[in-house]
Chain A
Amino acid sequence: MKKLLYIFLAAILTGGLTGCKKYLDKLDNPNLVTDPPLNGLLAQGTYRTGYSVFEMGDITSYYVQYLAGNTKGSDADVYNPVDYSSTWSDSYASMMNIKQMILKAQTDRAWLHLGVGQVLMALNLNMLINTFGDVPYSNALEGKNNIIPTFDKQQALHDTCQALLDAAITNLQRTDASLKLDAGSDVIHTGDAAAWLKSAYALKARFLNQWSKTSSYNATGILTALGNAYTSNADDAALLSFNGRSPWNGVAYNNTQLDLDGWLSTQIVNAMNGTNYPLKDPRLPRIASITKYGDYRGTQNGAGRIGTGTNQEESYLSVTGFYSATNAPLLIVTYAETKFIEAEAALRSGDPGRAYDAYLDGIRANMDKVGVAAADRDAYVNDPGISVGKANISFDLIFKEKYLAMLLNPEAWVDARRYDYKYKNFSLPVGAAIPTFIRRLNYPTIEISRNASNIPPVKGLDEKLVWDQ
């Protein structure tokens, strides 16, 4: 009892002696940091952006039929509406962090951080508008200052992306930054400002190329931007550090542990295993697991598995594969992609020679990236089905090879829609819920629920986005 007496006596005395104000001053949350270091924000901004590329890729890969569901009629496979609230939330949380980094970088005159922030913001925003169409941006990310964001038109946000990249290009070239990019915090370009500058140009080219179906397509602008973009695979923007397993490695590993995931679609496997084209693609063994039959087989989207699912009767992302090995980098923008953009832009601007060279460079670059032996690479590239000569270069060839080189990247869905899914033998999934290929996603439930009054109407998943008309 004495102890108890002392406890409450102490409680009262402490309260009295230190004063009421101090006694009640418990407003500051001891669990949160109020002023984070800029490089700490850089770490989060680069990591979360890379992770968002994975999350988006994990959605779009079913629509471009890189991946297929292992159960019959799985919703993503057959174009049923799926709620992607977590990806949406993660994207905006990521952009909120990037915004804080941008604001702090401006205050601190940390121009390089500012430039990186603008690149990251543009990339995130571009992925969102190409998936959901109109999204909130111009009065979003303001926290308490505007709790009901409105939706901006896609067209305007495409302009915003370009503006962000232009600003980034300026900032990344400034030499008077107060702070260097920390190599240990930048998990995309390890603190290399020059690499960020190239990425800004590469993204500029990618975004401009998205308008290929429209009259505002600007081939010159694309080629100009590419002139300042990547020059080799070493320049690629990729997520290099992870929280646990690298994302696709996690998918592949789960699959080996019967948490079925990462099943390759018949479409991508048949494009590489000699079915759709006579040539066997040397990249396939570097990507997929081999079946018990000793070959590579996909799973048809919507059809689900044929066997037990555990018996290696189909190919999956391999736990040792290029995209899904332990610590496999998550590719964001690559040199190979820029070469295919160049090929397309050159062809559209009437320069098949440049287009043809860029097309072949793109294939070689990706082969090298994936780790194909030089001999195999050259055998593939020199095959008459690939090396068709500049007179015969076509959009079909460029899109086909770009499709193979963009594996798991969400930009592949933009390509597929620009190309109207005309890949060889590309067909509607079994049991498709709509009679045409999918063109966009519904707004996620979390936004419908919280921002109902502003949600733009969506006619259906076959509604085409602004650049897809």
Chain B
Amino acid sequence: MIFRQNRHGHLSPCFVKELLMRITILAFLLTINGILMAGSTSGQDLSTIKVSIDLSNTSLKTAIRKIEAISHLPFSYRTSDIAGLTSLTYKASDISLEKVLADLLIHNGLQYELVNGNVIIKKTKAVAASTKNISADKADTPADGGIKGRVTNPKGEPLVNASISLLGHKQGTTADENGYFSIPNLKPGRYQVQISAVGYGTEIRIVEVKDNSTATIDLQLSDKTNMTEVTVTALGIRKEKRSLGYAAQEVSGDALEASHQPNIVNALQGQAAGLQINSGGGAPGQGAKIILRGINSLDPSRDFQPLFVIDGIPIDNTTDVNDGSELKGMGNRASDINPDDIESINILKGGAATALYGLRASTGAIIITTKSGKAGKLRGGFTSTGTIDRSDMAPETQGVYTQGWLGVYDSTSFWPAWGPTIAAAKAIDPTHPDHLFDNYKHGYKTGHSLRNSLNFSGGTDKAIVSASLSEFNQGGIMPFTNYRNYSGKVSGEFKFSDKFRFGASVNYINSGGRHGDADRYNEEMTYFSPRWDMWNYMLPDGTQKTIIGSTNDNPIYVLWGKKYEDDVDRVIGNMHFTWSPVKWLDINYRAGVDRYTDSRTQTTPGPLGLTDEIYPAGDFYYGRIFQYNIKNTVLNSTLMLNFKNDIGRHLNSSFKIGHDLFQTRRTTVYTEGDTLTVPTFYSFDNAKKVIATSTQRDYRIIGLFGDWTLGWDNFLYLDVTGRNDWTSTLPQQNRSFFYPSASLSWIFSENFHLPVWTSYGKLRFSAAKVGKDAAPYATSTGYMIDAALSPIPAQRFERSNQEGDANLRPEFTTSYEGGVELKFLRNRIGLDFTYYNNTSKDLVIPVKVPVTTGDDQIYLNAGSIRNQGVEISLTGTPVQTKDFRWDIRVNYTSNHNKVLSIYPGLTEIPISSQFGYLSADVTQKFVPGMPVGALYGRTYQRYFGSAHEDPAVLDRSKPMLIGPDGFPVLNAASKQQYLANSQPTWIGNLSTTVRYKSLSLYLLFDTQQGVHKYNQLANFMSAFGLQKGSLNRNDVTVFKGVLADGTPNTKAVWLGQGVGPDGVNYGNGYYRNVYRGGSETFVEDASWFRLRTASLAYTFPDKWMSKTTFLSGATLSFSGNNLWIHTKWSGFDPESSSNGSGNVADGFNGFSYPAVRSYILSLNLNF
């Protein structure tokens, strides 16, 4: 590529921008012009396409390929029709294509037809007739059998001109305008019928033909074949899939629909290789986290998730928890998108795939294409989905020992379960219930949701308009939590002429609801003795009802009073046009805006001041109101010039250059009113003290990019890209940076004679470098102004404990990727294998430095990290008959990452830490040589004898050291050891679809293996005597292990509290004195295997539909999510997370919002 460069070797953005601006304005003027001229359109006319051609003793197949390359018209034919034509010689220059085709085809008994821009070659009727004659001649007996049927696309529309041929025979035909076909005069026997159509797949059916009967096959062809399969790549560029030199996986809207997940990120679970998705939990509207090919950034505050692009417009996917809502299950903003609107999702994983998007997609990109209308009559669809949710897993509790301490019952005790058995307690307190409440189950109820979606589309070939509306309401399983999402979308595509097309869409969304702090709720449930029913939470006067004397608040009352709601108003709009002023140039322009306000309010009542009122001050803050208002605007503009050209006979070329502008502004205002005078009047005027803080963040990027795709004879493709970004977040001298990519695709099955069972083979290789800037304001340091004091109203200026580096440089990720795609047995089996290796260097990290520096964190170009892994996708169709079809898809992903280095002198960068009793805190850290998910915590001492201990890593193979008191010995709290990795070693999923006539069954099994997380809940449960394991609390045991001298421990000890049967005083007991202090106990295997989705769908027969006057189709489905889980984890669903979906830390999951098992009934009507 050649760009004009300035003295520093960089492109001058001003020059380019000015130029592009001029082009843009010109384009606009022409747009208006185009609108005025619209009206006179003509179909593609082969007589106007002039070509020059020189054929010498070539086959018709080669000839057609050449013409395809010259004319850019796709040709379609049955190989058998043209197989015999092997030696053509033809030479002409500047001749109309119409003439060329006539010359080449007509004389060979062929004819052609132009259908939707495709040239379809078929035998002339006379030849077809003669075929029949040949067939008849060869028949020993008159053949009266035949095959007839109808070919449709997945939407049930007829596939006009679909090609039907009998393999191994010469008969064949094409479907008529209603999709019907018929092949008469076949002798009895088994026939392999091959059906194919342009833009659709090829299917082969075995059909038994009998005398005097006509076999009927109706079949649907799936969209796209591997020959012409087109996929959406970066910047909305559609490319033939075969030309891609990198892995690309597409997920269809149908696959997403099966799970009926309200959050599109959750819906993607198990749908593609290389994708790691973790839902935060089952809260209504709760966010989910998505990671492509591992974490390649060490900045825990930076977005590590892929860029979300909807219809070419990057949208915001922030999960904002800056108002202290980290544990409230806030939604990631992509969850605003109505999943019913989605047509397909393309997942761009590697550096080469996302290179054109530049730094914003350095963590991958999720390209969402929404449903668009189709020309023709007005169509409509209505979907109603109802869901019932239950908590899918809960920790097991002991259920025997009740409230008290040292085994002594006390109905006012702070201690929920260190008392005696229920029977012993009942002897003292007859009001004691027969069974303890199992709070972790008792505290969650049945949730439910209902979504209704309506969509319309229709139009002419010049204007297509579509609209959709949806409403979603959900009530959570945690009391008082709910979520709603209302969405309306209108879009239109207008074709003013062959040279100018224009489209636009607007999507309005309102979402939000009431969130509860599941972390706090579960924590309070741990304190609240299971002897009492917490649903009995309020006294008639409205004050709290809790366990008198225990000082513990009632968890449900706290939830009731702490009302936290968010309310998002969002508009996503985009417009785009394509102008093709000349044959070799397309000018594409796309602009979009994503703007939302998120208004959040939390209120807690003040004390009513009543006698005996037990006021939960720790949660209600004596009456408080706060508001957090976010305004976020993303503007995006992309101009792209696409130069199409052919160089010589074999080489075709597509060269694109473009300009990209990205601008965001985020402002927030936080206002808090303290201590309400009137306890339940939520107005700032009613607060004793009001404080407010505001923030503003601007972020801008200008990009200039080029993409050159070269194709050689449709089997070898080379794609080279380059992009230069100018960012607002780096200092001026480092602001501009360039990075290239190259990818190669070779369809080797076109060059080699592969075994017959191999139908397709492709090798691909790519290398890319992607730059990334710093977070906004990472270069600056300064002072905050704190709230004024009282009574002396001093205004304090406090140095921010985050320091910037004014010399930050961009970080770069270099990635290499290689892969192979194979298809066997006429595409019945497909294999896609990818290996990648990504190394990121000079990472900009807000390094958590020793606070003794005076800073908490400093932005530095500090470290490097490597991700490498394999992705394997396997697809197969083991059975396929007329009425029965079985499809299987398997995805396997294994990513290994390693922190290569951090800042010199630093040994670790802590990412997140969670409390544990007795210093059993667990910390996730970046440590050189370790994976990003490394979890550290407090361990038990091991016996090493003369062996040397690595103090940094726990060695579980060594025997436990038992102290002189007979108990295991905890290491010092300061000796934090590596316990486990929170990143999965592999992710796999298997989906299978079985269709029988109108019934289809879909199953999706999903697994993440090798995951470890800190179960904070288990630590708390052991401190409070709740866990099932503590049933042995009154046992005498000998701990397995060795004494300091290496001899085996033989000392019997009692596990209970107080004086044991041996007369020794054991104080607070083993569980509180020892057990709860070992982090290693609570970092559990959080691997799981689950039936993610099971769905049974029934499509009502057409004949029923035709009886109604308005329906054209109806489907009823019954689905379930998380119906079965297998895991060693002892808490709530191990997939959930204590951290918000925007947080890179994934090693913590204790008091999370439980995930849900959903039962879903859905009805879809088309009219």
Contact = CB atoms under 8 A, between A and B. Distances in A.
Interface of A: 1, 4-5, 7-9, 11-13, 15-16, 19-21, 23-34, 36-37, 40-41, 43-44, 46-48, 71-73, 75, 80-81, 83, 88-89, 92-93, 95-97, 99-100, 135-136, 140-144, 146-149, 184-187, 190, 240-244, 254, 257-260, 307-311, 327, 431, 442-443, 445-453, 455, 458
B791 A327 contact: yes
A259 B619 CA distance: 10
Nearest to A128: B852
Contacts of B785: 33, 40
A244 B17 CA distance: 53
B850 A136 contact: yes
B617 A254 contact: yes
Contacts of B637: 8, 11-12
A244 B687 CA distance: 13
Interface in B837-896: 847-856, 858, 860
Contacts of A1: 504, 506, 575
Contacts of A243: 786-787, 789
A40 B851 CA distance: 22
A258 B617 contact: yes
A8 B635 contact: yes
A406 to B, nearest CB: 25
Interface of B: 13-14, 17-18, 21, 24, 28, 405, 412, 414, 504, 506, 548-551, 573-575, 591-593, 607, 614-618, 622, 635, 637, 661, 663, 674, 689, 694-700, 702, 726-729, 731-732, 735, 776-777, 779-787, 789-801, 803-805, 847-856, 858, 860, 903, 905-908, 910, 913, 918-919, 921, 923, 925, 972-974, 976, 1067-1068, 1072
Nearest to B808: A27
Contact of B702 (A20, A28, A445): A20
Contacts of A187: 789, 792, 794
B783 A11 contact: no
A326 to B, nearest CB: 10
The 4 A-B pairs at the shortest CB distance, nearest first, are namely: A32-B782, A96-B854, A308-B549, A40-B797
Given A11-B635, A257-B617, A450 B797 contact: no
Nearest to B573: A4
B973 A445 contact: yes
Contacts of B661: 11-12, 15
A19 B800 contact: no
Given A24-B728, A144-B860, 14 more contacts: A23-B702, A26-B728, A26-B776, A31-B695, A31-B696, A40-B785, A43-B797, A44-B798, A92-B853, A141-B853, A144-B855, A147-B850, A309-B549, A445-B974
Contact of B792 (A26, A140, A241): A241
Given A23-B700, A73-B1068, A47 B796 contact: yes
10 contacts: A16-B17, A20-B14, A26-B728, A33-B783, A148-B906, A259-B617, A259-B618, A308-B412, A448-B976, A450-B908
A15 B663 CA distance: 10
B615 A83 contact: no
Given A97-B798, A144-B805, A257-B607, A244 B779 contact: no
Nearest to A36: B797
Contacts of B910: 449-450
Contacts of A89: 851, 856
Nearest to B907: A452
A126 B94 CA distance: 95
A455 B607 contact: no
A199 B1068 CA distance: 46
A147 B905 contact: yes
Nearest to B12: A20
Contact of A29 (B551, B731, B777): B777
Contacts of B574: 4
Nearest to B952: A452
Contacts of A450: 848-851, 906, 908, 910
A268 B589 CA distance: 78
A47 B689 CA distance: 19
Contacts, number: 291
Question: B573, B848, B855, B908: which has the most chain A beta carbons within 10 Å?
Answer: B855
A446 B548 CA distance: 38
Nearest to B782: A32
Contacts of A149: 850, 852-853
A227 to B, nearest CB: 30
Given A8-B635, A26-B700, A442 B735 contact: no
Nearest to A80: B918
A81 B971 CA distance: 12
B354 to A, nearest CB: 22
A14 to B, nearest CB: 9
A467 B974 CA distance: 25
A152 to B, nearest CB: 10
Given A27-B731, A47-B789, A143-B858, A257 B726 contact: no
A431 B860 CA distance: 47
Question: A30, A37, A310: which has the most chain B beta carbons within 10 Å?
Answer: A30
A83 B973 contact: yes
Contacts of B798: 44, 48, 97
B973 A442 contact: yes
Given A260-B551, A445-B921, A19 B850 contact: no
Nearest to B918: A80
Nearest to B18: A16
Question: A32, A240, A254: which has the most chain B beta carbons within 10 Å?
Answer: A32
Nearest to A442: B974
Given A1-B504, A72-B405, A309 B414 contact: yes
Contact of A73 (B616, B622, B1067): B1067
A5 to B, nearest CB: 7
B849 A147 contact: yes
Nearest to A97: B799
Contacts of B550: 308
Contacts of B1072: 73
A244 B674 contact: yes
Given A83-B973, A241-B791, A308-B548, A447 B781 contact: no
Nearest to A16: B21
A351 B230 CA distance: 99
Given A73-B1067, A431-B1068, A184 B794 contact: yes
B860 to A, nearest CB: 7
A442 to B, nearest CB: 6
A96 B607 CA distance: 39
B68 to A, nearest CB: 37
Contacts of A24: 700, 702, 726-728, 735
B390 to A, nearest CB: 34
B537 to A, nearest CB: 16
Nearest to B413: A308
B242 to A, nearest CB: 35
Contact of B17 (A20, A34, A242, A447): A20
Given A242-B789, A258-B614, A185 B851 contact: no
A4 B593 contact: yes
Contacts of B781: 32, 34, 143
Contacts of B549: 307-311
A92 B905 contact: no
A31 B700 CA distance: 17
Contacts of A143: 781, 803, 853-855, 858
B794 to A, nearest CB: 4
Question: A149, A254, A445, A449: which has the most chain B beta carbons within 10 Å?
Answer: A449
A92 B852 contact: yes
B850 A447 contact: yes
B178 to A, nearest CB: 38
Contacts of B18: 16
A33 B785 CA distance: 8
Contacts of B674: 244
Contact of B551 (A96, A309, A431): A309
Contacts of B796: 40, 43-44, 47
B732 A147 contact: no
